[in-house]
Structure 1
Amino acid sequence: MESFTKTKLTTEQQNNLVGATFGSHVSINRSTELTGGYFNAAYDLLLSDGRAMILKIAPSDETDTLNYEQDIMSVEVTAMRLMKSKGTVPVPEVYAYDNSKEMISSEFFFMEKIVGQPYNEIKEELSLQQRISIEEELGRYSRLINEIPGERFGLFSASTLVKGNSWREVFKHLIINLLEDARRLKAEMPIPLENVEAEIISRLHVMDVVTEPRLIHWDLWDGNVFVREGRIVALIDWERALWGDPLMEYYFRYIENSEHFCRGYGNSFDSPNECARKKLYDLYIDLIYFIEYYSRKYDSQGHLKWARDNLLEGWKRFMN
């Protein structure tokens, strides 16, 4: 989808990055823009030496992003390198990362091209048994991710201000910052921000049981799960990784609620406290879907209507 946050590059600019990174003797034979993402720009490259790889470019510093999206490319690269070193979950290899902003005004990196298809693009074509197998496997991988402990709660980036000694404190900061984004971007909220903030804060005591920071991918929707021959071959887009509560993972949201995922994970998390935490995370993601529209400026009024209707439905669920 077209988004205001995407930093588009000409073929000449891409060639300059390739030459500076891999040597002046290497150039691009073919470049295809990848349009499935919503935030970064990305290109599928075939180089003159026969290598295929992905070039990913962050928004420029001048782009008005949400608070939690600061330093986001550094997060993605660091998280993928961490997972690659663990060897427990399939992730693309990062070939090179440049945050100098000397060649272009944005950070960028080159990574391995995964041979496979996003799960969301083939899901409906698969048999029930194939979908069950993939979602159970995703549950097992998510469990392995969430078993990695952190030293603190907060966003993955060491430079972020959103960190703290308790998960309750950190999640409160995430909420307040998001609502401040809504005010700054002049989002036309269908629910008064004061009501949203008050209702959320009144329920934050349920977070006190979360005492150990765990690695969370947080964006493992079907489009970020690459599949080949009925198996998961890569989990991508780690830029929203954080140290927090495993129940924040996407497949625990009401949107999916897959029993197969939970079976693979080994837990369905349905105690009263766990359900209360999941409702808070459900509303948080619904708020993001709506507020981010005003930052990304999608070329679709239909998307804004969907996000608004989705938030209103989410608010009803939250208040019941």
Structure 2
Amino acid sequence: MRTEEALAAAGIDPASVVASEDIGGGTYNTAIRLALADGRRLVLKLAPVAPGLSYEHDLLATEAEYYRRVSGPLPSVVGAGPGFLLMTELPGVPWSQVPDAGPRLRTELGGIVAGLHKTTGDGFGYLQDPLRPTWPVAFTAMADAVLADAVTHGVQLPRPAAEIAHLVRRHEPLLELVTTPVLVHFDLWRGNILLDGGRVSGIIDAERAFWGDPMAEFVSLTLFGDPDRELLDGYRAGGGPAEFGMPAWARLGLYRVYLDLIMLVEMVPRKDDDADRARFLRARLTEDLDALRRTV
């Protein structure tokens, strides 16, 4: 879909756009910053035409639904439809561009995430798919789908796909402890967190959200590391529903493996030929699979 078509579908005259700029930085959708004659600043996201992974369908509908349901420093939906999402622009720059941000912001972020996690639902899984009655059923289906994608795209995995699927199923008793579906963003790395004036000003790019275990959020919040004390203190103070006992830490290992798989497998349909990145992700997946095996 072209910009003009998306704006018209959202009820906005394309002629009212006085400036537009490709934001860049994304790896899936196209994002365009728009300035309107009435002073409004909007962001338009357009879905790619090429197919992606099995779960990557109607992702902009998922993102719009997330913003409509969740309370927090989030964009407001101006218009949405097949292949596009138009929303308000939030102030600030990505945290990934502010290397000197201090621990106080991590505590603030923890409190914000606790607020995001107050949104609960009636089933588990991706918003754009039929929901499952339990988290074990939903999560194993999610893992099976990305493993099937790996086979389809000929991705080199450190262990056979069937072996990884079996390892996930061995942990189903841990997943059974999750009984309340929480809306999880699942892409809260620093590039999707905005800072402005020394504060957290926005959470963006919620297209990969799902109903599931709030503990899964801490994989991207602490990408390739362990949750830090400041983040957890803010989350607890904000009344976040995730519990941090040993079963929860074991489940975190499952979600690390799942995200590793996504990041590795998606490189093929996106035609990302960065060999160093592939080696790094394969090594991370190997390490996380070994750690998960030790928790059984």
Q: Alignment RMSD, CA only? A: 2.1
Judge conservation of contact 2:126–2:209 (CA < 8 Å) in 1.
yes
Whether 2:45 is the aligned partner of 1:56: answer yes
Deviation at 1:51, TM superposition (A): 3.0
Question: How big is each residue's C-alpha offset from its partner over 1:123-155, in whole Å with a ceiling of 9 and x where there is no partner?
Answer: x223xxxx2221111111111122222111121
Closer, same or farther: CA 312–71 of 1 in aligned 2, 3 Å: same
- TM-score in terms of structure 1 length: 0.83
Structure 1 residue 15: deviation in Å?
Answer: 4.2
CA contact (8 A) 2:250 2:292 kept: no
- 2:60–2:207 contact (8 Å) kept in structure 1: yes
Per-residue CA shift, 1:68-119, capped at 9, x if unaligned? 2222110101111222xxxx411111212132xxxxxxx1122111220111
Q: Which amino acid aligns with 1:186?
A: G
CA 1:210–1:16 in 2, change beyond 3 Å: closer, same or farther? closer
Cα pair 2:33 2:41 within 8 Å, conserved: yes
Select 1:251's aligned residue among 199, 221, 225: 221
Secondary structure (helix, strand or coil) at the match of 1:45 reads strand
Question: Structure 2 CA distance, aligned partners of 1:254 and 1:235?
Answer: 20
CA distance in 1, matches of 2:5, 2:133: 44
User: Of 169, 174, 183, which aligns to 1:215?
Assistant: 183
Sort the Cα spacing of 1:192 and 1:25 in 2 relative to 1 into closer, same or farther, 3 A: closer
1:311 corresponds to: 285
State whether residues 81 and 94 of structure 1, in contact with CA within 8 Å, keep that contact through their aligned partners in structure 2: yes
Q: Secondary structure at the match of 1:68?
A: coil
Match of 2:81 in 1: 98
Structure 2: which amino acid aligns with 1:261?
L
Shift of 1:208: 1.1
Aligned to 2:256: 282
- Residue 32 of structure 1 and its aligned partner are, at CA, apart by 1.9
- Residue in 2 that maps onto 1:179: 147
Letter in 2 for 1:271: G
* Preserved CA contact (<8 Å) 1:146 1:215: yes
Taking the aligned partners of 1:187 and 1:255, their CA distance within structure 2 comes to 25
Residues 109-188 of structure 1 correspond to what in structure 2 (within 5 A)?
A: 109-122=85-98, 124-126=99-101, 131-157=102-128, 160-161=129-130, 163-188=131-156
Q: Report the residue type matching 2:53 in the other structure.
A: L
Pairwise CA distance, 1:298? 2.1
Q: Which residue of 10, 21, 26 maps to 2:16? A: 26
| 8 A contact 1:19–1:26 mirrored in 2 | no
What is the percent sequence identity of the aligned residues? 28
Could you tell me which runs of 5 or more consecutive residues in structure 1 were left unpaired when the two chains were aligned. 1-8, 100-106
**8 Å CA contact retained: 1:253, 1:278:** no
User: Of residues 165, 175, 183 in structure 2, which corresponds to 1:197?
Assistant: 165
| CA separation of 1:231 and 1:202: change in aligned 2, threshold 3 A | same
Which runs of no fewer than 5 residues in structure 2 stay unpaired? none
Is 1:295 equivalent to 2:278 in the alignment?
no
Deviation at 1:55, TM superposition (A): 1.2
Helix, strand or coil: the match of 2:200? strand
**TM-score normalised according to structure 2 size:** 0.89
* Count of matched residue pairs: 287
Shift of 1:52: 2.2
